[in-house]
Amino acid sequence: MKNMRLCQTVNISIKMHKNYQKVFRWILVSGLLLVPLFNFWSPWTSSGVDIRSRWSPVQKVLSKKIGDIIRGYPDIAYHKKEEVACRLAQNACVCLAGEETFHLPFSHLLFPPVLAHNLQYAFLENHPDPEGIKHHRAQEYKNFQRRSYNPADVLIVAEANNPLQYPIQGVEVQPLKTIIIPGLGLKQEARSSYTVNLTATLGTFDVAATVDMVSIKGEGENYMTLSSPLLSALNRQLQFVTYTNIVFHPRTADSIQFATEGHQAFFTIKVGHRKVPKLYNSGYNGGYNITALVTIATKTFIRYDKLKDLIDSIRKYYPTVTIVIADDNKDPQPVTGPHIEHYIMPFGKGWFAGRNLAVSQVNTKYVLWVDDDFIFTANTKLEKLVDILEKTTLDLVGGAVREVTGYAATFRHTISVEDGGEEGDCLHIRLGYHHVIEGFPNCVVADAVINFFMARTHEVQQVGFDPRLSRKGHLEFFIDGLGSLHIGSCSDVIVNHASKIKLPWTKSETRKVYEKFRYSSTGGNDRDELIYFKNRFKCMTRQ
């Protein structure tokens, strides 16, 4: 009750010039005090809150307006500039492999062909209920779109000659809190009276102070009108308009309509909690302390001999760095030693499940992923990878893997998604990278890199390794990370690959069992299902 009395005093008229600072202190206090009040006033919160994302009436008007603006001036002729226009997305991708233009010996090595994998055929053809699965995917996609819809992403145009002044972007409020809306104003030619109104969907308006000669209707409601015979008084009053969010959502936005006779403007107020940072305290003593900053993670299956060679090689250069091993062998053998964490999983849980488990146990700022048949050498300089991660916005940076032949592979790819309508989109994976990184001449930006990479632990944990990929998989992680991971690749940090290419008749028994699991054909259709259903693609083209 005390709160309520205090809050109401805010509406008492104040001589603004003298008490300017005092008022702002009041605003701050009253912002906090207004919150419990709305719990009583608001009819919205009395019987539960609808947290489906809603298409508010304001957004309906807004979308019509944008349509009108885009369709304006239809009778003025135009000339298409083909070389630019052809770069615009057509939003109707088709599943096409690259054309082979010439046939020469080794031409496929120099210019790797683009292969197209039609997921619709590959996955749906063998499915007992293709129509059912299509329908299910469409429904899940609709729900996903509804969940991820954010009014702050809606296009807003500030029209020319609009007498209304307002903030287009950059206004934020925490859920159920109150702010002053900055920047509201009216610039209009002389007339007998001036009126503006404000409309919100997820919140209410009020004023933190009142100004003489201004009449206000709808304080504490989601529609407020302010009018005055004096333009300067109205503009002064507009500086004290507050917005209080009344529907709790940790991350959304409210579209505000701001109108005067003959003119409407729209802007958004972001509603959300502050992003809580996730920081790692890894000590700082000038240089990079790899033990404190990095954990090495790997997954092993059957190849204990290879794993031992890997550990021995790491210890030569980094004797105290923690090594996390995920192990899904049938008969697990002990792997012991200082700074080793060995996690035994149920038999055959699989490749991505193991990666996920290993990465989930990392508590250093960075995680280095290695395969269990890699060997560290003097060229495996983890400091270089830490350095680029510390100095750039990259989240993940790959190195190079030197095969026994001497060739060092970086496996750089770019990934893009093209809209394809109802059937699903197209995923395009190509060899190559986007650009070289300034200050790091051996490093480039790409969308996918090799199996040897260092990454910010938290970012990799956020993307995760989908445990449904059991046998094979690598690029799938980068497909899931597209748009959230900033990825680089450096060719001067090199790890060696223990012999992989062996003639079949010289293979050891262990190797044969390993290959039977890893490369058994059962994985293919699972993978098609994930890309078709989970990622909603109809086609994947790949180089």
Joined tokens for residue 256: 């505000």
User: SS3 of 147, please?
Assistant: helix
Nearer to ligand NAG, 292 or 409 (CB): 292
Contact 302, 329 (CB under 8 A): yes
- Nearest approach, Cβ of residue 68 and ligand NAG (Å): 17
Residues 381-412: b if buried by 16+ CB within 10 A, e if exposed: bbebbbebbeebebbbbbbbbbeeeeebebbb
Q: Which of 165, 239, 289, 525 binds ligand NAG (CB under 6 A)?
A: 289
Nearer to ligand NAG, 194 or 478 (CB): 194
Piece of 99-107, 281-289, 350-358, 459-467 that binds ligand NAG (CB under 6 A): 281-289
410: Cβ contacts below 8 Å, ≥ 6 apart = 398, 399, 400, 449, 450, 489, 491
Q: Which residues inside 504-543 make contact with ligand NAG, applying CB under 6 A?
A: none
Joined tokens for residue 198: 């404000």
Amino acid at 421: G
Nearer to ligand NAG, 291 or 525 (CB): 291
Nearer to ligand NAG, 267 or 301 (CB): 267
Q: Which residues inside 186-205 make contact with ligand NAG, applying CB under 6 A?
A: 195, 197
Give the count of beta carbons closer than 10 Å to the beta carbon of residue 250.
9
Q: Which of 133, 230, 292, 417 binds ligand NAG (CB under 6 A)?
A: 292
Q: Which residues inside 321-380 make contact with ligand NAG, applying CB under 6 A?
A: none
Joined tokens for residue 349: 């849980």
- x/- contact string, 201-240, with ligand NAG (CB under 6 A)? ----------------------------------------
- Nearest approach, Cβ of residue 503 and ligand NAG (Å): 45
Nearer to ligand NAG, 88 or 279 (CB): 279
Query: For 439-508, where are the alpha helices, taking DSSP H only?
Result: 457-463, 475-481
Joined tokens for residue 236: 């002064």
Q: Which of 285, 336, 506, 522 binds ligand NAG (CB under 6 A)?
A: 285
Can you tell me the distance from the alpha carbon of 486 to that of 53, in angstroms, rounded to the nearest whole number?
29
Q: What is the DSSP string of 489-528?
A: EEEEEEEEE------GGG--HHHHHHHHHHT-TTHHHHHH
Nearest to 124 by CA among 139, 114, 137: 137
- Nearest approach, Cβ of residue 361 and ligand NAG (Å): 17
- Nearest approach, Cβ of residue 291 and ligand NAG (Å): 4
Question: Look-up: residue for tokens 């060995």?
Answer: 342
Piece of 269-277, 288-296, 432-440, 532-540 that binds ligand NAG (CB under 6 A): 288-296
Q: Residue 354: which H helix or E strand, with range? A: helix 351-360
C-alpha 300 chain-centroid distance = 30
Q: Which residues inside 256-275 make contact with ligand NAG, applying CB under 6 A?
A: 259-261
Nearer to ligand NAG, 286 or 483 (CB): 286
Joined tokens for residue 142: 């609709």
Nearer to ligand NAG, 210 or 260 (CB): 260
Can you tell me the distance from the alpha carbon of 288 to that of 384, in angstroms, rounded to the nearest whole number?
10
Amino acid at 158: A
Q: Which residues inside 451-480 make contact with ligand NAG, applying CB under 6 A?
A: none
Piece of 254-262, 406-414, 427-435, 484-492 that binds ligand NAG (CB under 6 A): 254-262
- Nearest approach, Cβ of residue 541 and ligand NAG (Å): 46
Nearer to ligand NAG, 277 or 283 (CB): 283
Piece of 27-35, 283-291, 325-333, 334-342 that binds ligand NAG (CB under 6 A): 283-291
* Cα angle, residue 532 at apex, residues 526 and 536 outer, rounded to 5°: 140
> How many residues belong to the site for ligand NAG (CB under 6 A)?
10
Can you tell me the distance from the alpha carbon of 494 to that of 400, in angstroms, rounded to the nearest whole number?
5
Contact 116, 541 (CB under 8 A): yes
Nearer to ligand NAG, 56 or 392 (CB): 56
Nearer to ligand NAG, 195 or 377 (CB): 195
- Nearest approach, Cβ of residue 454 and ligand NAG (Å): 17
291 in contact with ligand NAG (CB under 6 A)? yes
Nearer to ligand NAG, 95 or 198 (CB): 198
Residues that bind ligand NAG in the complex, under the rule CB under 6 A: 195, 197, 259-261, 283, 285, 289, 291-292
